[in-house]
Homo-oligomer: A and B are copies of this chain.
Amino acid sequence: MPSNEAAAWLTENEDAGIERLMEWLRIPSISTDPAYRSECRSAAEWAADHLRGSGFEADLINTGSADKPGHPIVLATAGPADGAPHVLFYGHYDVQPPDPLELWDSPPFEPVRREAQGGVGERVVARGAVDDKGQVATFLEAMRALWETTGTAAGGARYTVVLEGEEESGSTNLEDFLRRHESSLGKCDICLISDTGMLGRGKPAITCGIRGIQYCEVRLHAADQDLHSGQWGGKVPNPLNELAKVLSGLWDSDQRVTIPGFYEGVPELSAEERSAWQSLGIDPAKSLKGIGLEPEADVGERGYSFIEREWARPTCDINGIYGGYTGEGAKTVIPAHATAKVSFRLVGDQDPAKVRDAFFAWLEERRPPGCRWELKDLHGGPPALVSMDSPYLAMASAALKVAGGDDAAMIRTGGSIPVAGLLKKILGLETIFMGFGLEDDRVHSPNEKFEIDCFRLGARAHVEFAASVADRAG
């Protein structure tokens, strides 16, 4: 078992590994701010060097155009040629801006390693500590351990590594990159990502499903100017009244979406899944309390539990609405138009473009007399779910059990992670999220941290996973 030796190496070299991570964290690779362009490249080079030091071939691939240059993508490969199982590891080296700076207890790009107050867990505090440098570092250290102890890159497993530099700024150039590298990346068998969370402290988890999304903006126009509600109220259509009326019809009394065909492709949950999720011990009342709500706020589509509604059911939400007078006090206006942002979360085989078309047709059928719609598709991405019988899911689960001693929980997320949707759409690839974050890691917030226990679990799990992949090649 090469993994035993590599695991021992990890233990011996843990402090050095954390030092390496802290070095990476010192590079302020803020992708959204052009002032940090060279820092982004430095962070990419740092990662490429780390991978080269573990026997990978690694390059920086430029993205964007001369007019609009993007941040480079680290593309690295290791392992035997065609034939063996092939894992695509995806991560990102860019970070969110650190402001508001005054809320940090230590400077965001001067990482510190310290015991938490109350001794909850030793941690590294810095921008990017958990999202995503710290999590990517668990993979990098696993690769280092396998190289140092076996003399073979990735311990003989076949890996392609893609580290993006624009995840925090819209992944503008990722789709283009994937399409350009479709023929090589398309040969991968599975995508593995460490950029999600565990079920809780000491509770490893695999996120095996994400929801898709379709996001639209709808504007209802009436008069070509704002009107005085004294002179015009009751005489002509008020876009605010009419928009509220139309949108209110999106849900029936069971909170199901009423658009015809919306539920096509939505799979029913199996009894096994429902029972497995039930046994995870998720407490809706506790979650609700955390956001200031009473237990009576546990409402949504009838017939599904709190967590089922997030993980396995499609939704429709208004994310923004505006029109007329929105300042302090009163203004008696009937505005020329009213606008709403409406998004759908999708599951199973729901297709964002089909949902958009059905929604727009539904709106046109309900056009109030004298009004007209202006409809925009802002973006969409498909849902993604790993096959429950995927051998890689079993391998990831086994790796986590060896690394952590506990069975990994099979969870999903209600969010939409664009890269997984893209990998499915362009490469037909399933994604396994083996993540090591905790709910209180303060992702995107001041004092972001990554706990050493999580770092240790991640590195160990990646060693085990790679060893299993190598075994299948052999």
Contact indicator B321/A244 (Cβ below 8 Å): yes
Per-position 1/0 for A331-367, Cβ under 8 A of B: 1111100111101010000000000000000000000
Give the chain B neighbours of A228 by CB distance below 8 A: 415
Contact indicator A234/B318 (Cβ below 8 Å): no
Query: Could you list some 22 contacts between A and B, CB below 8 A?
Result: A215-B330, A215-B332, A222-B297, A230-B413, A232-B310, A233-B345, A233-B414, A234-B301, A235-B300, A236-B300, A241-B316, A244-B244, A245-B251, A294-B370, A298-B370, A299-B370, A318-B324, A320-B323, A320-B331, A325-B341, A330-B341, A332-B416
Contact indicator A343/B330 (Cβ below 8 Å): yes
CB of A12 within 8 Å of the partner chain: no
Contact indicator A292/B244 (Cβ below 8 Å): no
Give the chain B neighbours of A178 by CB distance below 8 A: none
CB distance from A428 to the nearest CB of B (A): 23
Per-position 1/0 for A366-392, Cβ under 8 A of B: 001111000000110000000000000
CB of A225 within 8 Å of the partner chain: yes
Q: A224-B291, A240-B321, A370-B294 are in contact. Are A234 and B329 (CB under 8 A)?
A: no
CB of A9 within 8 Å of the partner chain: no
Per-position 1/0 for A255-296, Cβ under 8 A of B: 000000000000000000000000000000000100111101
Contact indicator A369/B330 (Cβ below 8 Å): no
Contact indicator B331/A234 (Cβ below 8 Å): no
Partner of A292 from the list B224, B292, B300 (CB cut-off 8 Å) is B224
CB of A309 within 8 Å of the partner chain: yes
CB of A117 within 8 Å of the partner chain: no
Q: A244-B244, A323-B320, A326-B322 are in contact. Are A296 and B230 (CB under 8 A)?
A: no
Cα(A247)–Cα(B246), bound, Å: 11
Residues of A participating in the B interface, judged by any CB pair closer than 8 Å: 211, 213, 215, 217, 222-225, 227-238, 240-241, 243-245, 247-251, 288, 291-294, 296-301, 306, 309-310, 313-326, 329-335, 338-341, 343, 345, 368-371, 378-379, 413-416
Give the chain B neighbours of A240 by CB distance below 8 A: 317-321, 340
Give the chain B neighbours of A320 by CB distance below 8 A: 240, 323-326, 331, 333, 335
Contact indicator B369/A297 (Cβ below 8 Å): yes
Give the chain B neighbours of A300 by CB distance below 8 A: 234-236
Contact indicator B318/A244 (Cβ below 8 Å): yes
CB distance from A422 to the nearest CB of B (A): 16
Partner of A231 from the list B225, B310, B335 (CB cut-off 8 Å) is B310
* Closest residue of B by beta carbon distance from A292: B224
